[in-house]
Structure 1
Amino acid sequence: MLDAIVMGGGPAGAVCASVLARQGRSVLVLERQEFPRFHIGESMLPYMVGLLERHGLLDAVREQGYVVKRGGEFIDPTGTKFFRAGVFRADFAKTGDGRHHETFQVERSHFDRVNLDQARAAGATVREGAQVVGLLEEGGRVVGVRYREGGVEREERARYVVDATGRAGVVANRFGLRRMIEDLRMVAVFHHRDGLDEAHNPGHEGDIQVGSHADGWIWAIPLSADRISVGTVMHRDRLRGRTPAEAFAEHVERVPRINQRLTGTTATSDFWVETDYSYHSDQVTGPGWVMVGDAGCFGDPMFSGGVLVGMATGAEAAEALGRALDSPADEEQALTGYSNFFKTGYDTYVRLIFSFYEGELLPALAEAHSEAGDLSEADMEMYVVRLLGGDFWSARNPVANALRANPAWSTFSPFEPVHRCPVYPELDVAELGGLAGAVGR
């Protein structure tokens, strides 16, 4: 019997398999597609670099030559959605000493291949083109999977099954656990363009641009020296009666800084459309199984946090399963701790998204500043940039705490938060005056 089967070889599943394999566990990864394959979610956060470093994956990613991202540009003509009217640049150099001040823009087909290869190198067995078709259950516990590979159906048993199947949600669908986040039922229309010349960029080379307008927002993410990903996100009713191409063109025209950056570019793909993609599961662990990443929750690509939270939960799940494998009597405690960690990160991230769509980010910032009292404007900007960079677990961030105080934005049923940063735990403890108990369990 295997120690773990990981269903899905995307970032969350790959890092989970890597960490487990480096513990010396027997791990099988079943990925239904053959890599490389297209996936959205190309812009990384700076906390991702710290996470990759902690788990021995940074060198493999850094040597790929991805576009370096040192900040994000947020465009808001009205000043009601972001931090000030006009343009706010989140400069990652302002996150403070000891933290990484840059990250990457990637093509996910390539980035995901690199991470899956790292799982192989760590000792995990990886089978691509292996479609999970069911779970094996005994006495109310998941004990393995049925999968189809090369037209042949097989079974494999394990002490734990990790669901990293993203939107497919194998476990969520089996047990009826997935719930839509009704207020975030959006649609995205996007494609890639060649011919990018950053001489036309009115901002900083390598930055993501996020532009707000009355009906939604636009992203622009440079993927290489001459390629860029561009998309528009809107409520579903804004697309009715129009083709994706019509909605895209009209929305991009509303954000002149992004339109300027696209000067001379031409589309290299048809439009992709993603709909109704915001959901969560209140239960993310169970007898013999855990969910990681998008399998358990997905909010919105607004602040580019999906891959970070997915990989952080994948790594944390591996650590929790390692404790349970070593001491089966501690399984409940390990899985409960993991569940609370998962929910803390996703809840904070989804609250950040809600604050944008409901125009409450500025009021939250004002409340944080008032509560903090003795913090300077520079300190407050530091915490804003940290939050935008992936600071979703810390109890130290007053902006995150202001978002957590709004009961209307709760994603999950009540749970016990785990305020332990998975990227910079030592710095987090130090900033809290060494009170380790205050930063979680």
Structure 2
Amino acid sequence: MSPKKDSYDCVVLGAGPAGCAAAALVAKEGFSTLLVEREQLPREHVGESLMPESYWTFEKLGVLPKLEASRYAKKVGVQFVDASGRESKPFFFRSHFDHPSSETWHVERADFDQMLFDNATEKGAECVQRTRVLEVLFDGDRATGVRLKAADGERTVSSRVVVDATGQSSLIANRLGLKQMNPDLKKAGIWRHYRGGERDESGGGVKTIISHTRDQKCWFWYIPQFNDIVSVGCVGDSDYLLKGRGTPAEVFDQELSNCPGVTEYLTGAEAMDDLAVAKEFSYTTKQAAGPGWTLVGDAWGFIDPVYSSGVYFAMKSADMASECVVDALRADDCSAERLGAWAPTFAEGTKWVRKLVNAFYSGSFRVGKFVQEHPQHAGPLTDLLVGKMFSPEMPALFADLDPWLERAKAMDAMDDDEPVAAMA
């Protein structure tokens, strides 16, 4: 379906969580907003585990009542399993901060994205599907609109601001050469869903489980969802997973057999026919905004799935960027400085999650031992797992964690007989 008008205050490209959030938040402030989606919703997508701090953006969007009444599995914590199958003590978020924002959900993305898309419509955005973005239009370095193609033909739409929420397609970043792959996190993921996997609800809900394989070349996520469905994914170096070892399904099964922390949960479970693959997904962009445009969500960057930060980062970046878009439109100043004012604060916060991801892949991070030696950091570490990446306690946490990791690496190198129990 083609847009109804030729000109808008804001055009948002992509109707994932970031795009839907940005469109809703700009539209509800009274600005004409067009949300463009290439596919037809609902669309299939791997099940997601949310970070609890998403609560505040959900509240701002007005969708908390829908989430609270939904069928989604309630996420109450996270648990890590080492290479031998030994489980860490669960991190139950509410025991750290007793507030509704300390618990969240494991969502089915097809249904979740549809809810956010409908909410953008309810907030006043014009939302079109099955409409391709052929080109983002520029006048010099300023974005001025988009050229679209729908079933009824091509259409050029002008806009004061273009918000790129096209995910890893990153239309503007790729056009302007802004995308930078992270050479230290060239990972790949293979995942599928199962029916009938074990569900531990001892904490009042389900947990995300992160489990290493025996040789620690890969790790698995285990995310119980509603309707007796579990999302199970394997992540490892891209070359190791996807080159010369057979089909993705064969590699997935090989790695699963090497992961005692997950195989026992899947005893008697039925694998569903929905295997999917993604590779080399960790990247950043050189800049988050320019004259007349800004990037949000995965179009801005993506770190790694290990701490379930993807949807939270997408929605938080859209939340912060939308405030700048509204400010720029009100001031009639859609400069790079005004549209990108959110980015330094956001980048500073995501830096700490990136550092925690690097700690995870170091092979030497043992949460239990670190917290035992530095009990003052148990709270800040849980804060980071919850998504409180803007906490003023983060610098002090890493001032101790970074040298601790260096000592742990040195000890591991000296004692080859001691198994590395990452995150145990």
- What is the TM-score of this pair, normalised by structure 2? 0.86
Cα contact 2:79–2:87 (8 A) shared by 1: no
Cα contact 1:4–1:161 (8 A) shared by 2: yes
Question: What is the aligned partner in structure 2 of residue 384 from structure 1?
Answer: 381
Following the alignment from structure 1 to structure 2, what is the Cα–Cα distance between the partners of residues 110 and 164? Answer: 19
Question: What is the aligned partner in structure 1 of residue 133 from structure 2?
Answer: 132
CA 1:172/1:110 → structure 2, altered by over 3 Å: closer, same or farther?
same
The equivalent position to 1:321 in structure 2, one of 315, 318, 325, is: 325
CA 1:309/1:154 → structure 2, altered by over 3 Å: closer, same or farther?
same
CA 1:293/1:345 → structure 2, altered by over 3 Å: closer, same or farther?
farther
1:18 and 2:18 matched: no
Following the alignment from structure 1 to structure 2, what is the Cα–Cα distance between the partners of residues 299 and 265? Answer: 31
Question: What is the aligned partner in structure 2 of residue 69 from structure 1?
Answer: 75
Question: What is the aligned partner in structure 1 of residue 211 from structure 2?
Answer: 211
CA 1:304/1:145 → structure 2, altered by over 3 Å: closer, same or farther?
same
Question: What is the aligned partner in structure 2 of residue 3 from structure 1?
Answer: 9
Following the alignment from structure 1 to structure 2, what is the Cα–Cα distance between the partners of residues 137 and 56? Answer: 34
Task: Please list the CA deviations of residues 251-309 of structure 1 after superposition, one character each: whole Å capped at 9, or x if unmatched.
Answer: 22233232121121111124211111111101110010000010010111111001001
Cα contact 2:292–2:334 (8 A) shared by 1: no
Following the alignment from structure 2 to structure 1, what is the Cα–Cα distance between the partners of residues 369 and 26? Answer: 39
One-letter code aligned to 1:115: L
Task: Please list the CA deviations of residues 2-28 of structure 1 after superposition, one character each: whole Å capped at 9, or x if unmatched.
Answer: 110000010001011111111111100
Aligned residues: 393
Question: What is the aligned partner in structure 2 of residue 257 from structure 1?
Answer: 261
Following the alignment from structure 1 to structure 2, what is the Cα–Cα distance between the partners of residues 203 and 78? Answer: 24
Question: What is the aligned partner in structure 2 of residue 164 from structure 1?
Answer: 165
The equivalent position to 2:350 in structure 1, one of 319, 341, 346, is: 346
1:280 and 2:281 matched: no
1:2 counterpart SS class: strand
Q: Provide the identity percentage.
A: 33
1:380 counterpart SS class: helix
1:185 and 2:191 matched: no
Cα contact 2:371–2:378 (8 A) shared by 1: no
Question: What is the aligned partner in structure 2 of residue 301 from structure 1?
Answer: 305
Following the alignment from structure 2 to structure 1, what is the Cα–Cα distance between the partners of residues 251 and 203? Answer: 25
- What is the TM-score of this pair, normalised by structure 1? 0.82
Give the superposition deviation at 1:73.
1.2
Following the alignment from structure 1 to structure 2, what is the Cα–Cα distance between the partners of residues 42 and 247? Answer: 22
Structure 1, 142-151 or 4-13: larger mean CA deviation: 142-151
2:190 counterpart SS class: strand
Structure 1, 298-307 or 32-41: larger mean CA deviation: 32-41
Following the alignment from structure 1 to structure 2, what is the Cα–Cα distance between the partners of residues 365 and 119? Answer: 45
Give the superposition deviation at 1:48.
1.3
The equivalent position to 1:28 in structure 2, one of 34, 47, 53, is: 34
The equivalent position to 1:267 in structure 2, one of 247, 264, 271, is: 271
Give the superposition deviation at 1:216.
1.3
1:172 counterpart SS class: helix
One-letter code aligned to 2:54: M
Cα contact 1:197–1:225 (8 A) shared by 2: no
CA 1:399/1:73 → structure 2, altered by over 3 Å: closer, same or farther?
farther
Structure 1, 5-14 or 62-71: larger mean CA deviation: 62-71
Consecutive unaligned residues in structure 2, runs of 5 or more: 1-6, 404-424
Give the superposition deviation at 1:100.
1.9
2:19 counterpart SS class: helix
Cα contact 2:294–2:340 (8 A) shared by 1: no
Correspondence list, 1:67-146, <5 A:
67-77=73-83, 86-98=87-99, 100-146=101-147
Question: What is the aligned partner in structure 2 of residue 232 from structure 1?
Answer: 234
1:93 counterpart SS class: helix
Give the superposition deviation at 1:204.
7.8
Give the superposition deviation at 1:110.
0.8
